[in-house]
């Protein structure tokens, strides 16, 4: 496993940042399975120890990422309404979009995983890669402040995503109608049509808030049904929010399926 300062030299070069505190980078790359496994070994040997994983750092990195993206979009798109800015930010920070920089940095090569997670192909799992990327953002922030995290987010996440958006001939997000995008994804998966349900309406007439749910049926392949909920100042906005969450979940599910197929293919190609 690549976990020492020497082993992460290539990653630091890709990040364009040399860590003063390498323990921060190590923690950002440590999955809970590895931490618990190491704790168990220490306890068995009579040496109680606490090994930190990257879950808390993921929480902080997600907040730093959201702040930096929000700040930059606010500055760059002064004519956008709140809803447009929110949709663009959601697109950029979605798990599906964060997979690109995570894979480009080859984060999977550096993850510290428990034996079970290693055997199950954890180095290629979308969720683990994205979580580690967010934890690395937190490590940059803790090691060198907001400016270091800001530079990385702009260079490796925001600028490439905006360049892709611009290629569509507009500065606006390609996927603006999430209900339509969700319906296309549902149709492709063979699921029945989504159903939208209003579960709450509250507030005075001039400041109504609506809560809508998108109910996604199970697929013929056995993928389970699920429900996504969102709030909005109009029914339409709440529906779009719920549809966006459901659409992102379906996209991530597709990526995980691709990861599983990749891992199965790699396993079947191993010499017996």
- Contact residues for 266 (Cβ-Cβ < 8 A; gap 6+): 121
Tokens standing for 181? 């995008």
What gap in Å lies between CA 135 and CA 148, rounded to an integer?
Answer: 14
User: For 11-16, which contacts have Cβ atoms below 8 Å and span 24 or more sequence positions?
Assistant: 11/105, 11/106, 11/107, 11/110, 14/104, 14/105, 14/106, 15/105, 15/136, 15/140, 15/152, 16/151, 16/152, 16/155
Residues in the chain, overall count: 272
Which residue, among 37, 23, 65, 266, has the nearest Cα to 161 in the 3D structure? 65
Reply yes or no on whether 72 is catalytic.
no
Catalytic residue of the set 26, 53, 62, 117: 62
What stretches of the chain adopt beta strand conformation (E)? Answer: 195-202, 209-216, 226-232
Tell me, yes or no, if 62 is annotated catalytic.
yes
The DSSP bridge pattern shows strands 209-216 and 195-202 to be antiparallel
> Given 134, 143, 156, 161, which residue is catalytic?
134
- As given in the structure block, the two tokens for residue 244 are 């966006």
Which residue is it, tokens 């939208």? Answer: 196
Please identify which residue in the block is written with the tokens 């606006």. Answer: 172
Task: Just list the catalytic residues.
Answer: 62, 134
């Amino acid at each position: 496993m690549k976990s020492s300062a020497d082993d992460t030299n290539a990653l630091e070069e890709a990040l364009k940042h040399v860590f003063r505190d390498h323990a921060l980078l190590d923690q950002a790359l440590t999955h809970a399975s590895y931490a618990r496994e190491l704790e168990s070994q220490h306890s068995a040997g009579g040496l109680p120890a606490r090994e930190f994983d990257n879950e808390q750092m993921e929480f902080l990195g997600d907040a730093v990422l959201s702040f930096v993206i929000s700040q930059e979009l606010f500055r760059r798109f002064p004519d956008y309404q709140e809803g447009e800015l929110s949709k663009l930010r959601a697109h950029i920070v979605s798990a599906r979009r964060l997979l690109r920089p995570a894979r480009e940095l080859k984060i999977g090569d550096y993850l510290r995983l428990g034996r079970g997670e290693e055997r199950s192909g954890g180095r290629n799992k979308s969720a683990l890669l994205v979580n580690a990327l967010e934890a690395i953002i937190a490590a940059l922030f803790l090691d060198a402040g907001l400016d270091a995290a800001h530079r990385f987010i702009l260079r490796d996440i925001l600028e490439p995503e905006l360049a892709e958006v611009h290629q569509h001939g507009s500065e606006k997000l390609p996927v603006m109608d999430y209900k339509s995008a969700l319906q296309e994804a549902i149709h492709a998966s063979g699921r029945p049509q989504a159903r939208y349900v209003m579960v709450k309406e509250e507030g005075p007439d001039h400041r109504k808030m609506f809560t809508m749910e998108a109910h996604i049926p199970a697929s013929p392949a056995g993928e389970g049904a699920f429900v996504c909920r969102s709030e909005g100042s109009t029914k339409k906005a709440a529906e779009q929010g719920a549809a966006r969450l459901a659409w992102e979940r379906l996209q991530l599910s597709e990526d995980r399926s691709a990861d599983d197929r990749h891992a199965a293919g790699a396993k079947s190609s191993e010499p017996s």
